Amino acid sequence: MATYNTSDFRKGLKVQIDGEPYLITEMNFVKPGKGNAMYKCKMKNLVRGTTLDRTYKGGDSLEAADVETTTVQFLYRQGQDYVFMDGTTFEQYEVPNEVAGDIWKYLKDGTECSMTLYNGAAITVEPPQHVQLEVTECGPGTKGDTATNVTKPAMVETGAEFNVPGFIKEGNIIKINTLNNEYVERVNN
């Protein structure tokens, strides 16, 4: 198993502590006037979702997490589970609702996502940063509202609702940023 020294620590690194995979979400390097350098890390447990704060001295090391990240394609929803397929191996993964979270807002047939596997089971599924969705329900804009920051709710083809500018109509294709759940732009259709 590979190991990482403290000089390799950085945000986004996946490590293993007490047999469980963790993601370093924050890492601060501290060099006091006297003594060794310290690395203060905030980590998220990839299986349970809990967070952990640890401080390491210069020269310490951690095992690399035995996780694999792969690109998968959304196929369909089966009850409370989501079914994805790896495009290269054609292996299918059933992901429970607890793992998938709010990803349903962005999923339509064929959407490519990034899946992290631990011991062959999916522990995280992330949608692409931007998705294009068709507006299926949207109220009319208020006449005379020409201010640039006027928004209204719009429902998209996945059943999710997003705030959009007043000029958006039913049938428009909009781009949504999945990181902050916000409207980006109208796509020409």
Mean pLDDT by 10 residues, the chain (189 residues): 83 86 88 84 86 88 86 90 89 86 88 87 87 88 63 89 88 90 83
pLDDT for the residue 175: 93
Q: Do 39 and 29 touch, CB atoms closer than 8 A?
A: yes
What is the architecture, at CATH level 2, of domain 67-126? Beta Barrel (2.40)
Q: What is 3-64's CATH topology?
A: SH3 type barrels. (2.30.30)
Which token pair is 20? 């469980």
Sign of the dihedral through C-alpha 71, 76, 80, 83: negative
Sign of the dihedral through C-alpha 178, 180, 183, 188: negative
pLDDT for the residue 80: 86
In this prediction the pTM is 0.70
Residue 38 to residue 35: CA distance in whole angstroms? 9
CATH superfamily, region 130-187: Nucleic acid-binding proteins (2.40.50.140)
Neighbours of 40 (CB within 10 A): 14
pLDDT for the residue 145: 57
